[in-house]
Amino acid sequence: MSLIANIIRPEVLDLAAYHVPDSVGFVKLDAMENPYTLSADLQQALATRLAKVALNRYPVPSYSGLKTAIKQQLGVPQDYDLVLGNGSDELISMVSMACAKAGAKVLAPLPGFVMYAMSARLAGMQFVGVPLNADLTLDLAAMLAAIAEHRPAITYLAYPNNPTGTLYEVADIEAILRAVGDTGVVILDEAYQPFSPVSFMSRLGEFDNLLVMRTVSKLGLAGIRLGYMTGSQALLEQFEKVRPPYNINVLTEAAAEFMLEQVAVLDAQAAQLCAQRGVLTEALARLPGVTVFPSAANFLLIRVPQAEQVFAKLVKQKILVKNVGKMHVLLENCLRITVSTPEENSLFLDAFSASL
Give 192-213 pLDDT, tens digit per residue.
999 999 999 999 999 999 999 9
> How much is the pLDDT for 25?
86
Q: What is the pTM of this model?
A: 0.95
H/E segment holding residue 28: strand 27-28
Domain that holds residue 140: 56-261
- Residue 1's pLDDT is what? 63
Task: Count structural domains, the chain.
Answer: 2
pLDDT, residue 20, reads 78
pLDDT at 346 over 80: yes
CATH of the domain at 123: 3.40.640.10
Looking at the domain assignment, is residue 235 inside a domain? Answer: yes
Number of residues that this document lists for the chain: 356
| Whether 232 and 96 share a structural domain | yes
For residues 151-163, give the mean pLDDT: 98
* Co-location of 75 and 194 in the same domain: yes
337 and 255 housed in the same domain? no
Q: Is the pLDDT of residue 175 over 70?
A: yes
Pair (194, 234) in one structural domain:
yes
Domain end (from 240, 261, 282)? 261
Percent of all residues in the chain with a pLDDT value above 70, rounded to a whole number = 100
Same domain, 118 and 208: yes
88-142: pLDDT as tens digits: 999 999 999 999 999 999 999 999 999 999 999 999 999 999 999 999 999 999 9
CA within 13 Å, CB half, 64: 2
- Of the residues 261, 289, 315, which one is the last residue of a structural domain? 261
Write the pLDDT tens digit of every residue in 3-60.
998 999 888 888 877 777 787 889 999 999 999 999 999 999 999 999 999 999 999 9
Q: pLDDT by residue (tens digit) across 298-312?
A: 999 999 999 999 999
Evaluate whether residue 320 is within a structural domain: yes
262-287 as b/e, with b when 16 or more CB fall inside 10 Å?
bbeebeebbebbbebbeebbebbeee
pLDDT tens string 135-150: 999 999 999 999 999 9
Do residues 251 and 303 both lie within one domain?
no
In a domain, 46, yes or no: no
> Residue 51 falls within a domain, yes or no?
no
* Last residue within a domain, chosen from 261, 285, 307: 261
